[in-house]
Amino acid sequence: MIQTKNTKASVLFRINEDSSLLQMLQQQLEMNHTAIKPLTRAAILSDYFTFADENYGRYGEALNFTTYLSEGSTNETSLVVWKTFLSKFSGTYDKFISHPQYPKLKNFLLGKLTNVLDYTSSPKTREEIVLRDYLLETACKLNHPHCQTMAKELFSQWRANTNDSSPLDNFYPESRPILQCAIVRNRGQEAYDFIMAKYRQGVGVQFDEITTDFSRGFLWSLPCASDKIIFKGFIEYILTPPSPSSGGIEDINRWHILEVVSSTPLPNGRDLFLPFISNNFDLIIEKLGLVYVIPAIIYQLTHSWEFTTAEKKKEIQELFMLHEDKLLDEDGEDTVLIVSGIYKKLDANIQWMGTQGKDILDTINSLSN
C-alpha cells in the first residue's frame, strides 16, 4: 500500500500505516494538530473508519485518532474534519442508539463536542457560523447541555416576540427544524402547544388546504417531545379524523407523521411506537387504507433505529405473529418480502453489535479509564 510520512501534504491516500507511524501521527495531532493540513487530518480519520467498516482494521484504531478532538492542545475548528468524523461515525451512532449501552457512546461523543461548541457559541466569522450550525445537529441529537441552553433561550425570545418573527431566522434554514425539535424536547407542553399553534396558523382555518413545507416544518418538530404523554397524544393524530372540533391533522399530513416518527430516532419512538402499532393495528389499516403499510413502517423503523438486540427482534416477531392472518390476507407476497427484509436487517445488526460494536465499546471503556 502507498504510505506517506509527509504531514504537510494536502491529501493522504487511503493507507494502512504500521503501528509506530500511527502513534507518531496521533501524538502530533494531540500536541499540535495544525501542523497537519485540514484535508490530511480529515483523510486520516476517513481512512481508519473506512478500514474498520470494511473489516481491514479495528474501530479502536479509528477512535484513538479522535482523542485530540477533546484532549488536544487547541480546538479543532476545521469544518471538513468535523464533517468527516461525524459522517463516518453516524452509522456507528445509529446502530447504538437503540442499544442498552447507548449512554456510553453518547457520553463519548458529548466529550468530543464540548470544547468546540464553547468555541463557536458566539461566532465572529462566517466560517464559525457555518461550523456552529453544522455541529448543532449532533449536539441536539445528543441533547448536549449547550443545545438545551440554546433551546431555552430561543424559546423565551420567540414567545416574547409580538411581530411574529422568530429568533431561528438568524440560523441557516437547515438548522431551524433541529432547533425547533430541541425546543419541544426541552420546554415540554408549553413549547409543544406554542409550535402546534404555529403549525395551525400556517395551515389556515380550512382543513382541506394543502399544507406548505413551512408549516409542515413545525409539524415535524412536535414528536420530539420527551414527555411520553405528549408523544402518545401526538401519534394519536394518525387515527384522528381532521376537523376543527377534533383538532386532528389533515389527511395529507398524517402520512408525514408516520414518516417522521418511523424515520427519525426520537426520545420516545423506540419504546412507544411499536406498541402503538400493535395496539392500533386495525385502526391504522382502516385510516390509511393499506395492509402492507404496517410492515413498510416497521421496515423504515428498523432502518432508522438500527435495532441491534435479540429482544427487539423478538418484539417485532411477536407483533407480526399476532397479526399474521391479516398481514397475509391481502398483498401477502409483498408483505412476506418486506418482513424478510426486516429480519435480514435485524440479524445483520445483531451480528455487527457482537463484533465491531464490542470493539467500539471496549475502546470507549479503555479511553474512559
Predicted confidence (pLDDT) per residue in 94-128, tens digit = 888 888 899 999 999 998 998 899 888 888 888 88
All cell numbers assigned to 123: 461566532
Say if residues 153 and 168 touch (Cβ distance below 8 Å): no
**What's the average model confidence in pLDDT over 322-349?**
82
Q: 186 pLDDT band (50/70/90 cuts)?
A: very high
Q: 17 pLDDT band (50/70/90 cuts)?
A: low
Residue that has been written with the C-alpha cell 500511527 in this structure: 22
Q: Which residues lie closer than 8 Å to 216 by C-beta, 6 or more apart?
A: 199, 202, 253, 256
Say if residues 360 and 59 touch (Cβ distance below 8 Å): yes
**What's the average model confidence in pLDDT over 339-344?**
91
What CATH number is given for 8-142 in this structure? 1.25.50.20
Determine how many CB atoms are found less than 10 A away from the CB of residue 103. Answer: 10
Q: Give the H/E segment covering residue 26.
A: helix 19-32
Helix 126-141 to helix 176-203 angle (10° resolution) is: 80
Q: Give the H/E segment covering residue 190.
A: helix 176-203
Identify each DSSP E strand in the chain by its residue range.
none
Q: 5 pLDDT band (50/70/90 cuts)?
A: very low
**From CA 191, how far away is CA 225, in angstroms rounded?**
9
Flag whether pLDDT at 271 surpasses 50: yes
**From CA 94, how far away is CA 100, in angstroms rounded?**
13
Determine how many CB atoms are found less than 10 A away from the CB of residue 96. Answer: 22
The whole-number pLDDT of residue 313 equals: 92
Flag whether pLDDT at 339 surpasses 60: yes
Q: Residues 200-259: pLDDT tens digits?
A: 877 654 444 444 566 777 888 899 999 999 999 888 888 877 665 666 777 777 777 887
The whole-number pLDDT of residue 92 equals: 85
Write the single-letter amino acid at 324.
E
Domain limits of the chain? 8-142, 143-247, 268-348
The whole-number pLDDT of residue 133 equals: 86
Determine how many CB atoms are found less than 10 A away from the CB of residue 282. Answer: 10
